[in-house]
Amino acid sequence: MSAVTRPGLAPAPMAPAPAPATAAGPVTQVRVVRAEWTKLRALRSTRWCALTAAVLIVGLGAAIAGSGTAYHVSPGDSAAKGVSVALLGVLFAQLVLGVVGVLAFSGEYGTGMIRATLAVVPSRLPVLWAKLIVLAGLVLPVTLLCAVVDFFMATALESARGGSAISLTDPGVLRTVVGSSLYLTVIVIIGLALGALLRKTAAGLSVFAAVFFVVPIVVGALPHKITGFAPYLPSNAGGALWGNPLTTGHELGPWTGFAVLCGYAVVLTGLAAWRLRRRDA
């Protein structure tokens, strides 16, 4: 046992023992979660991305609430809609969080670390679940905190400038604030699944950006007759929950839309799990 830990010593001339001492216990899902948390916490990019997302959500919200004409609640402009506008930063934060999600897997394929990771967890799927749990566990509280801070700051700024006082108890307001955080949490999971599925950072980010930025804009510019599917696009479906200010026209119900977004995440994660199990690492 001690000979391994002392490189300077010549090997002891002893008979081979049938079962040499080991230090490793069984792999459990909890242990793999701790392993993934160790990686995520130690990576500088995690901190930078979390900080950037926070600045985008809170900073942009403050800039919107503090400029232009003050927001007045009226039959056409609900309290919840006012909050959605102050959450515009979510649209940019989603790109940052999409990058975090994609990189969580593609980064390991790109650097080669995936071989070390999968060699110690050869059943593989616990790695996917662990990354999912760790990312969701990080993004949900962080973005919820950002959304709440953004809400209180934006409403304080608006009412100070003579706008309507909006409270968390106004219809749809709490759903909008919490929904923006739920939306971003599902986004990071979609990014993760794309990273695991495509394995290349560039491919994962391109698909992510295409689906969440390019396609909604292109579809928004098309005539309404042929865009009946628009509400089912991931960004629009998920946007229904927190009132994405860029979505125009027909929308799904808030929770129906969110369920559709979750459906995309489930299908992509399922495909990623299948590919992770089946393909050579």
Partner 1 sequence: MIEIDGLTKRYGDKTAVDGLSFVVEPGVVTGFLGPNGAGKSTTMRMIAGLDRPTSGTVRVNGKHYPKAPAPMAELGILLDARSVHPGLSARSNLLALARTAGIGRRRVDEVIELAGLGEVAGTRAGGFSLGMGQRLGVAAALLGRPQTVVLDEPVNGLDPDGVRWIRLLLKSLAAEGRTVLVSSHLMSEMAQTATQLVVLGRGKLITEASVEDFTGHATGTGVLVRTPETVRLGQLLAAPGITVINDGTDLVRVSGTTAEQIGTAAWRAHLPVYELTPTHASLEEAFMQVTQDSIEYHAGATR
Residues that bind partner 1 (CB under 8 A): 1, 3-28, 31-32, 34-36, 38-39, 42-45, 107-108, 111-113, 115-124, 278, 280-281
Smaller CB distance to partner 1: residue 12 or 221? 12
Q: How far is the CB of 276 from partner 1 (least distance, A)?
A: 12
Smaller CB distance to partner 1: residue 26 or 223? 26
Q: How far is the CB of 215 from partner 1 (least distance, A)?
A: 31
Smaller CB distance to partner 1: residue 38 or 167? 38
- H helices of the chain, in order, are 2-5, 29-42, 44-54, 60-65, 79-86, 90-111, 113-120, 125-160, 173-198, 201-209, 215-221, 234-242, 254-278
**Residue 163 to residue 72: CA distance in whole angstroms:** 5
Start-to-end C-alpha separation, the chain: 32
Smaller CB distance to partner 1: residue 31 or 81? 31
**Residue 61 to residue 244: CA distance in whole angstroms:** 13
DSSP state of 212: I
Smaller CB distance to partner 1: residue 50 or 91? 50
- Sequential DSSP letters for 46-99: HHHHHHHHHIIIIIHHHHHHTSSSPP---SSS-HHHHHHHHTTTHHHHHHHHHH
**Residue 137 to residue 242: CA distance in whole angstroms:** 20
Q: How far is the CB of 84 from partner 1 (least distance, A)?
A: 36
Residues 5 and 23: beta-carbon distance below 8 Å: no
Q: Please report, as a single letter, which amino acid is at residue 268.
A: L
Dihedral Cα 92, 267, 263, 234, nearest 10 deg: 30
Q: How far is the CB of 131 from partner 1 (least distance, A)?
A: 12
Smaller CB distance to partner 1: residue 41 or 224? 41
User: Residues near 55 by Cβ (< 8 Å), separated by ≥ 6?
Assistant: none
CA 40 to chain CA mean position, Å: 13
Smaller CB distance to partner 1: residue 225 or 278? 278
Task: Copy the structure tokens of residue 99.
Answer: 């990058």
Q: How far is the CB of 198 from partner 1 (least distance, A)?
A: 19
Task: Copy the structure tokens of residue 20.
Answer: 């040499």
